[in-house]
C-alpha cells in the first residue's frame, strides 16, 4: 500500500513574511523558557517558587487584560496602519523586556520587567492576528494558519533545547540578549513589508474636461 503525501508549501508573500517574523520572535523567547526558573531562583535575591508564580501571574493576567482593549481599538480604526504600528512597537518593547532581564537583581524588578513583557505581547498578538487574518490565501486559510502553528512549534522546540546549551556556554545574559536580538529581527522582517500591508494608493488620472464655451461659434 502506497501513501502519497503531497503538501504545497507555496503561500502569499505577506503570509510568508509574517510567518518568518513569528518564527524569529518565538524562537528568541523559546530560548528563555528552559532556563527561566533556574535564572530566577539562582540569580535574584530572595526569589522562591512563589516568586516564579507571581511573575507568571503578572505576565499572563496583564497580557490577557490589555490585549482586549488593544484589539478593540485596532478594530475601530479603519485601515491597517494602526495595526502595523502596534505590531512593530510591540516587538521593540519585547526586545527591551528581554534585554532588561539581564539587569534584574530584585524581585520587584522581575515583576516590572514581566509587566513590560506583557505589554509587548498584548500589542503584538492582536495586531499580528488582525493583519495575518486579512491576508491569508483565500483558498488556503486552514493551511496558512496551520503552517504558522507548525513553524512556531518547531522553532520553540528547537530553541528550547538550544536555550540550555547557550546558557551553559554564554550564561543567562547571553540567552536574554539573543532573545532581544530575535525580537528585533522579527521587527526588521516586518519593516520590509509595508508595501504589502500598506500599498500606496493608485493615483487617479485626471480627466481633461472640454471647457470650450458653448456659444463659441455664435
CATH number (domain holding residue 102):
1.20.1250.20
What's the pLDDT score for residue 204?
43
4 in a structural domain: no
Distance (Å) of CA 16 to CA 84, 94, 135, 145: 16, 22, 11, 11
Which sign, positive or negative, has the C-alpha torsion 7, 11, 15, 19?
positive
Nine cell digits for residue 134: 486579512
Provide the domain count of the chain.
Answer: 1
202 in a structural domain: no
Count of H-run helices and E-run strands, the chain: 7, 0
What's the pLDDT score for residue 57?
96
71 in a structural domain: yes
12 in a structural domain: no
Question: What residues make up the domain containing 40?
Answer: 19-137+150-193
Q: Is the pLDDT of residue 2 over 50?
A: no
Nearest 5°: the CA angle 177, 181, 185 is 170
- pLDDT tens per residue, range 74-104: 999 888 888 999 999 999 999 999 999 999 9
11 in a structural domain: no
SS3 assignment, position 3: coil
Q: Using 50, 70 and 90 to split pLDDT, how confident is the model at 218?
A: very low
Q: Using 50, 70 and 90 to split pLDDT, how confident is the model at 136?
A: confident
Give the mean pLDDT of the chain: 84
Q: Are 180 and 31 within 8 A, CB to CB?
A: no
189 in a structural domain: yes
CA-nearest of 37, 163, 184 to 97 is 184
Q: Are 57 and 153 within 8 A, CB to CB?
A: no
What's the pLDDT score for residue 50?
94
Measured CA to CA, the distance from residue 87 to residue 96 in angstroms comes to: 14
Q: Is the pLDDT of residue 180 over 50?
A: yes
What percentage of the chain reaches a pLDDT higher than 90? 44
Q: Which of 8-17, 27-36, 50-59 is least confident?
A: 8-17
pTM for the predicted model, two decimal places: 0.82
174 in a structural domain: yes
What percentage of the chain reaches a pLDDT higher than 70? 84
Amino acid at each position: 500500500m502506497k501513501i502519497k503525501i503531497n503538501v504545497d508549501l507555496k503561500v502569499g508573500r505577506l503570509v510568508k513574511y509574517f510567518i518568518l517574523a513569528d518564527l524569529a520572535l518565538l524562537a528568541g523567547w523559546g530560548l528563555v523558557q528552559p532556563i527561566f526558573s533556574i535564572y530566577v531562583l539562582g540569580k535574584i535575591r530572595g526569589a522562591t517558587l512563589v516568586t516564579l508564580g507571581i511573575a507568571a501571574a503578572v505576565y499572563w493576567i496583564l497580557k490577557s487584560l490589555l490585549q482586549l482593549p488593544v484589539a478593540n481599538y485596532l478594530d475601530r480604526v479603519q485601515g491597517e496602519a494602526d495595526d502595523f504600528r502596534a505590531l512593530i512597537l510591540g516587538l521593540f518593547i519585547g526586545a527591551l523586556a528581554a534585554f532588561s532581564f539581564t539587569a534584574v537583581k530584585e524581585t520587584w524588578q522581575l515583576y516590572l520587567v514581566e509587566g513590560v513583557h506583557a505589554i509587548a505581547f498584548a500589542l503584538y498578538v492582536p495586531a499580528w492576528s488582525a493583519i495575518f487574518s486579512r491576508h491569508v490565501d483565500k483558498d488556503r486559510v486552514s493551511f496558512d494558519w496551520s503552517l504558522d502553528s507548525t513553524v512556531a512549534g518547531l522553532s520553540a522546540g528547537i530553541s528550547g533545547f538550544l536555550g540550555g546549551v547557550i546558557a551553559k556556554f554564554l550564561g543567562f545574559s547571553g540567552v536574554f540578549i539573543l532573545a532581544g536580538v530575535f525580537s528585533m529581527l522579527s521587527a526588521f522582517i516586518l519593516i520590509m513589508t509595508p508595501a504589502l500591508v500598506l500599498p500606496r494608493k493608485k493615483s487617479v488620472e485626471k480627466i481633461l474636461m472640454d471647457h470650450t464655451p458653448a456659444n463659441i461659434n455664435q
